[in-house]
Structure 1
Amino acid sequence: MAVRSRIAPPPPSGPTLTDTVGELVGIDATHLRIATRTGEVTVARDHVVAARVIPPKPSRRGAPHRAVTIEDLHLVMTRGQPGVEEAWLGAPGSGWLLRAGLGWTGRSNSALPVGDPGLPLPEAVDAVEAWYDERGLLPFVMLPRPTGAATTDDPLGALLLERGWVEGNPADVLTGRTADLLADVPTPPGLRLTTADAPDDAWFAGGSPRLLDHLDAARQILALPRHQVFLTAHDDEGSTAGVVRVALSDGWAGVFGLHVSPAHRGRGIGRWLTVEALRIAAAAGASLTYLQVEPDNAPAQHLYRGLGMTTHHDYVHLALR
């Protein structure tokens, strides 16, 4: 992001404002902490006169949702589902992000390597193992990679496998231009839609079995993203037929937690909920969309690709068991 602030004390002549550009890594009642290319900068909140989000720079030619780097896209995605506790190994915004989320989802409970950890790889892995051990969590790494790449093609992936870590839980990251995904999908008969900026009991009641098994953790994690909308489909009897969440950050919309009750499947509810979430995202200015889906989840793959989403890259998790 870019933050414009007053210079204090003001100089006797010349500009009185300065711009700080970088990753916002901390905020409290009095100060902002911004990781810039040359180091971390602290800006007093009462000196800030303007701020704006700068989308990640493209790394290659092509549509914006395709041109963003894997690392920059993951930094956006972490804001859609963060950990309850997070720490950086290496420079904030460009090292390894360590995340702990009370055991709910690999996204919130894994180390995410997006750059240089500031240590030789073996020592960095030692630090990851120690960090998760201290919190009573299984050491877990999310390893992003270009589509088709093998885990052993990555030096970190190869090292983890050599050290006995186990590979599993792959996911495809799909992206698209939000405006291109807004299909004309009618409301399924007998349903009504509600939206809210926080989940209520009806939304949680429609969640996946894994969410319901980790309800306390889910409540804490889903309270963290700054801008998000929860959508709930209700049937004529007042029961929850389906739910989805859309998180908004850096010009991107992230679709999370789509789940349709088994009793209501086969009616197009998942497609309808997804498109309604994207309409909300488009109205909020999110021009690009991402989501994460398991490779073997054929119905979800068919739904999302049918709307026009395409593979950006994939990732795999590695665990020390």
Structure 2
Amino acid sequence: MIAEAPLGHRPEVRIDRSDVGRRVSARRISELVDGRPVFRDVIGVLTSWDDHALTVVPRNCEPVSFAEKLLVAGKTVPLFPARRAPLPAAGPAELQRLAARCWPALEQEPLGGWTLRASAGYTRRANSAQALGDPGRPLPEALAAVRDWYAARGLPALVEVTVPGSSEDLTAELDRQGPRLAATLVRTASLAPLVRLGGGYERVRLSRTAGPAWQSLYQRAAGASPEVEQAARRVLHGGPSIWFATVPAPAGSPEGSTPAAIGRCVVDGPWAFFSAIETAPYARRTGLATTVTAVLAARAAEEGATGGCLQVEAENTAATALYDRLGFTTSHTYHYARLSQP
């Protein structure tokens, strides 16, 4: 039977372990009925292939694993052909909560409608109070509770202020206490046009985890304490449906194993939340950021998402210009405020 033949003797199998991370179509023997094989096809991302099994993650995100000897046909296939669809309806508060789910803090506690978040100090977003809604107590008492909560964890008391979204009284009070920090634009775009941008998609590899190569380019927690590094790994791998994109360094590159580009995307219902889109210095201005975004957008569209969202600091003019070209527009802004001591 062909399934028992060595892989190299199955002419319809045109994929191998080097295709891990690409979108493939694979046919396998799923069972024998009356001594005859029953074949099943699966289309999705080939996430692993070792001596035990291949695993393909289809659009429903339920991994399909099977032994190599059961593979009878396979090939790489183009990106998912996303169809144009309206941008999902969502206001500033909903988009901020989306971002919080897709970049989840390790510790979260409600304060009325607010959410207190802590993650050993790794990123402001995961270590600040998200001030949306009513805190359930007078503003001075709410701010005192925030201050005490973060003091108990040895962290600065930061408040994420959404404009529009957070109350005007809160915004005014925090402006009196000190300067606004890290002004950030929240930008959205329809996914389908993103999928049609760029080229060189075959260079991108998708994974469910951020491996050593991916992390070698993502330096946000480099040199930090073991506690912060662990928090970074947990935050990066948190969220509903997570994908990491990597463009490996060219063969023979003096840069070694450091990827040319990386990206991260979390799919949450109709939305895809993009982050960590980075290009190595040696590979900048080659369109790889666009390519990575397109591949991540295609995977998100395959899972049913139609809108993309990202956050970029207002002073990052290079990234803002890139996202302008990709069709992202600004929904709203947010910034942080550090509570002063009473």
Please indicate the TM-score interval, normalised by the length of the shorter structure.
0.7 to 0.9
1:17 corresponds to which residue? none
Pairing 1:112-191 to 2, within 5 Å after superposition? 112-146=130-164, 154-162=168-176, 164-187=177-200
C-alpha separation in 2, matches of 1:142 and 1:157: 10
SS in 1 for 2:125: coil
Moved over 3 A (4+): none
1:192 corresponds to which residue? 203
C-alpha separation in 2, matches of 1:268 and 1:130: 46
| In the alignment, structure 1 residue 78 sits paired with structure 2 residue 89 | no
SS in 1 for 2:120: coil
- List alignment gaps of at least 5 residues for structure 1: 1-62
C-alpha separation in 2, matches of 1:167 and 1:302: 23
> Offset of 1:154 from its aligned partner?
2.0
1:22 corresponds to which residue? none
1:243 corresponds to which residue? 262
CA contact (8 A) 1:183 1:307 kept: no
Matched length: 246
Pairing 1:1-321 to 2, within 5 Å after superposition? 64-65=87-88, 67-90=89-112, 95-146=113-164, 154-162=168-176, 164-187=177-200, 192-207=203-218, 209-214=219-224, 215-235=229-249, 236-237=251-252, 238-320=257-339
CA contact (8 A) 2:265 2:296 kept: yes
CA contact (8 A) 1:166 1:320 kept: no
- Look up the equivalent residue of 2:313 and give its one-letter code: E
> Offset of 1:99 from its aligned partner?
0.6
2:38 corresponds to which residue? none
Q: What's the RMSD between the two structures over aligned residues?
A: 2.0
TM-score (norm 2): 0.68
- Look up the equivalent residue of 2:188 and give its one-letter code: T
SS in 1 for 2:318: helix
- Look up the equivalent residue of 1:222 and give its one-letter code: L
C-alpha separation in 2, matches of 1:72 and 1:193: 31
2:46 corresponds to which residue? none
- Cα distance per residue 1:77-110 (max 9 Å; x no partner): 11110111001101xxxx0011101111111111
- Cα distance per residue 1:178-205 (max 9 Å; x no partner): 11322331118xx832211111111101
- List alignment gaps of at least 5 residues for structure 2: 1-85
C-alpha separation in 1, matches of 2:235 and 2:273: 15
C-alpha separation in 2, matches of 1:157 and 1:102: 26
SS in 1 for 2:331: strand
TM-score (norm 1): 0.72
SS in 1 for 2:180: strand
Larger Rg: 2
